[in-house]
Amino acid sequence: MKNFALIGAAGYISPRHMKAIKETNNKLLAALDPFDSVGVIDSYFPEMDFFTESERFDRYLSKQRLNDNCMDYVTICSPNYLHDAHIRLALRNGADAICEKPLVLNPWNIDALEDIQKETGGKINNILQLRLHPSIIALKKKVEEGPSDKIYDVDLSYLTSRGKWYHISWKGNHHKSGGIATNIGIHFYDMLSWIFGSVNENIIHILEEDRAAGFLQLERARVRWFLSVNYDLIPEHIKAIGQRTYRSIIIEGENMEFSGGFNDLHTRSYEEILLGNGFGLHEAKPSIEIVHEIRNASPVGLKGEYHPLCKS
Ligand SMILES: NC(=O)c1ccc[n+]([C@@H]2O[C@H](COP(=O)([O-])OP(=O)(O)OC[C@H]3O[C@@H](n4cnc5c(N)ncnc54)[C@H](O)[C@@H]3O)[C@@H](O)[C@H]2O)c1
């Protein structure tokens, strides 16, 4: 049984981590969140300690270490721009880190984290749960087993819906979330570069608050991508069945719809991390480089090979 602590307990994603810790038969001993609406804790680990101040949480971790009850893992579910600071807090207290996506906002933050890994001997694990999605694993296998000189034509659409709150919260603040491509798109750039190889060209057609679109030339694919958080862009047939998210990858004209199969991927991620197979800095870096480039690019408008939804 491993000891866990968690940062960002009151947020949207934290219950999935609490569930994963419980389902993998481990103990969540303590959590930190400046916001104290954390009644959800009672559904998972009612006995645990809870802190609203980082200094007290740090003191607790340090005492646990002195008492030979060191945290094995600190899970990080805080806003994106705080991840690297919270990872340092975890590793300096003798724990490994399990951090939500995006691991950090900029490629150089990863270099700094490499130093802290070396200094402490701890490991940083990143939640990249799409790599554990059965359909994505099957696609990677298909590409690996196909002709090695084949360049695939891929159209990726990820249309989801967020209310007005999104743009008011830290998620709508570029400095804190990295913007739509970083916050919403990171899973897809990770998946694409994992399957189709490194980036040769990264062109941005649209970069707005509620949508982004571009073209990626990867080693093995030409990808037109489109992301949105605007409900108005959800296809009518998806709205008609009451859904607010639509994910699709069209590869060589064949539609691979993968709106389902996401529910248990956090628990699957924990199973792999506990076996020592977590995704580390090396795996996280390519997609962090892609989103950093997108965030700092000047959109070229509707020129060249753009996604069909760009006209919507
Ligand atoms: N893997 C996925 O599919 C997935 C899905 C959603 C969110 N996420 C990621 O999970 C993280 C959290 O997202 P969320 O949707 O739960 O956001 P959220 O805003 O709902 O939760 C963030 C929590 O962090 C807390 N917080 C803020 N500052 C803090 C600090 N200094 N110390 C400790 N806690 C602090 C907030 O009070 C809040 O409770 C983000 O990095 C996000 O990108 C991942």
Q: What is the pLDDT of residues 271-289, one digit of tens each?
A: 999 999 999 999 999 999 9
Separation of CA 11 and ligand 1 centre (Å): 5
Tokens 């037109």 locate to 224
Helix H or strand E encompassing 217: strand 211-218
Q: What is the pLDDT of residues 58-107, one digit of tens each?
A: 999 999 999 999 999 999 999 999 999 999 999 999 999 999 999 999 99
Cβ–ligand 1 contact at 33 (below 6 Å): yes
Do 266 and 24 form a contact (C-beta atoms < 8 A)? no
3-state secondary structure at position 199: strand
What is the pLDDT averaged over residues 108-125? Answer: 98
Separation of CA 140 and ligand 1 centre (Å): 30
The answer, as to whether pTM is greater than 0.75, is yes
Give 112's strand partners: none
Separation of CA 9 and ligand 1 centre (Å): 8
312 band by pLDDT with thresholds 50, 70 and 90: confident
Separation of CA 8 and ligand 1 centre (Å): 6
Cβ–ligand 1 contact at 180 (below 6 Å): no
Pull the structure tokens for residue 183: 């916050």
Do 57 and 30 form a contact (C-beta atoms < 8 A)? yes
Nearest to 212 by CA among 230, 228, 188: 228
Cis ω on the peptide bond leading into residue 102 (within 30° of 0)?
yes
263 band by pLDDT with thresholds 50, 70 and 90: confident
Separation of CA 246 and ligand 1 centre (Å): 23
Q: Identify the residue whose C-alpha is closest to ligand 1 atom 7.
A: 13
Cα 311 to chain center, whole Å? 28
Cβ–ligand 1 contact at 191 (below 6 Å): no
- Residue 10 CA: which ligand 1 atom is closest? 39
Assess whether pLDDT exceeds 70 at residue 257.
no
Cβ–ligand 1 contact at 15 (below 6 Å): no
Pull the structure tokens for residue 236: 């009518």
The per-residue pLDDT of the chain, averaged, comes to 96
pLDDT for 227: 98
Assess whether pLDDT exceeds 90 at residue 259.
no
Question: How many angstroms separate the CA atoms of 256 and 261, rounded?
Answer: 13
Pull the structure tokens for residue 28: 């969540």
- Listed in sequence order, the residues at least 6 apart from 168 whose beta carbon sits closer than 8 Å to its beta carbon are none
